[in-house]
Amino acid sequence: MEVPEKFLKTVLVLGANSDVAKEAIKMYAKKQYFVLAASRSTDELHQFVQNNNLKEAVEVVYFDAIDFVSHASFYKSLSVAPHIVLYAAGYLKDNVEAMTDWQGCFRMMQVHYCGAVSIINIIVEDQQNNHLEQIIGLSSLSGVRGRKSNFLYGSTKSAFTQYLTGLRQYVAHRKIKVNVVVAGYIRSKMTQGLPLTESLMLEPAFIARAVVHAGNKKVLVPGIKWKIIYFILKILPEFLVAKLP
């Protein structure tokens, strides 16, 4: 499978209906990359493609992160094998609700970790795709340390981050880069209505730039404030972490 003529590379965006993914798609298209935009929300994606004049650069495909048995056939059906893979699928359930709503809690696990592992393993083990060069995962600061206000969501992101860290070692001999984008609060559909600190909110386009320009960086934390928070969380003793919300 070859990249369509005139395009330099192909990018597979999984969870393409997220706000960050949509911004990344526009940026990849500007770089003359062909994008396979994969999501359950194909109608919304078709509208996005039309509104942004991206019909030539973007192919919309159906993908369900938690329909694990479909992942092999989904990947096999792609019109072209990717050079770059971005996993940006997300789902958020309030921690208090998730403590008693197992289906909601389990869905976070499925979307952020199980689904990611399922499809990325398939992609990585495709021996016929000899031009796979980069895998990027959109993770979260919530996965850095367990905190009482969001440890269920955070644990799923922590698992995803650890998977990507080990995957980086697994594919290192093939010169495949694996980047983890550890994001703070993003102004998006998923966080709309949540009582988050306004001064810490980041725009989807800002995160998307970090994704698209990840390069050789193993871990990226967009935003200077969030970089500081990230390093503090990494070294803070647990008795102090327990005092955080």
d(CA 36, CA 82): 8
CA distance 78 to 95: 36
pLDDT band at 196 (very low <50, low <70, confident <90, very high): low
Give whole-number Cα distances, 95 to 9, 77, 238, in Å. Answer: 40, 37, 20
pLDDT grade for 3, boundaries at 50, 70 and 90: low
Is the pLDDT score of 81 beyond 60? yes
Confidence of residue 241 (pLDDT cuts 50, 70, 90): confident
185 vs 10: which has the higher pLDDT = 10
Average pLDDT, the chain: 93
What is the C-alpha to C-alpha distance for residues 144 and 152, in angstroms, rounded to an integer? 12
Residue 58 Cα distances to 36, 75, 131, angstroms? 6, 17, 19
Residue 63 — very low, low, confident or very high, per pLDDT cuts 50/70/90? very high
- The stretch 200-223 carries a mean pLDDT of 93
Domains of the chain: 9-241 (3.40.50.720)
- 236: pLDDT strictly greater than 80: yes
pLDDT of residue 113: 98
How do beta strands 58-62 and 33-39 pair?
parallel
Confidence of residue 198 (pLDDT cuts 50, 70, 90): low
pLDDT value at residue 75: 98
What's the pLDDT tens digit per position in 94-125? 999 999 999 999 999 999 999 999 999 999 99
pLDDT in tens, 36-60: 999 999 999 999 999 999 999 999 9
Give the tens place of pLDDT for each residue, 65-74. 999 999 999 9
- The predicted model gives 204-230 an average pLDDT of 95
- The residue with tokens 């995803």 is 160
